[in-house]
């Protein structure tokens, strides 16, 4: 069940690309909307303030994406890997 939920969640930001989007903007917006949706549900279930939960999760996602991008740049620089 966890694996299925993970795959579905990972596919959501990729869907705009699969339907022909040429820009990363649509994937970023889709991912952001999903973070907001999931954060809203989690805050409701946990009793946490909705705005605080959304901002916290968006901040965490921003850091994670930035670190992942930096790792990709480092791999490209060090090993000449290009995607």
Tokens 């952001």 map to which residue? 32
What pLDDT does 83 receive?
66
pTM of the model: 0.72
In which domain, by residue range, is 63 found? Answer: 2-79
Q: Which of 38, 35, 11, 16 is nearest to 26 (CA)?
A: 16
- Domain count of the fold of the chain: 1
Q: Which of 18, 24, 58, 14 is nearest to 38 (CA)?
A: 58
Digit-by-digit pLDDT tens for the chain (83 residues) are 899 988 988 888 888 888 988 888 888 899 899 999 999 999 999 999 999 999 999 999 999 989 998 998 999 999 998 76
* CA 81/CA 83 separation, integer angstroms: 7
């Amino acid at each position: 069940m966890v694996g299925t939920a993970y795959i579905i969640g990972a596919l959501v930001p990729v869907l705009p690309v699969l339907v022909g989007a040429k820009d990363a903007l649509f994937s970023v917006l889709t991912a952001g909307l999903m973070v907001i949706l999931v954060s809203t549900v989690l805050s409701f279930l946990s009793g946490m303030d909705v705005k605080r939960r959304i901002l916290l999760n968006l901040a965490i996602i921003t850091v994670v994406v930035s670190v992942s991008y930096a790792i990709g740049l480092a791999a490209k620089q060090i090993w000449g890997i290009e995607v």
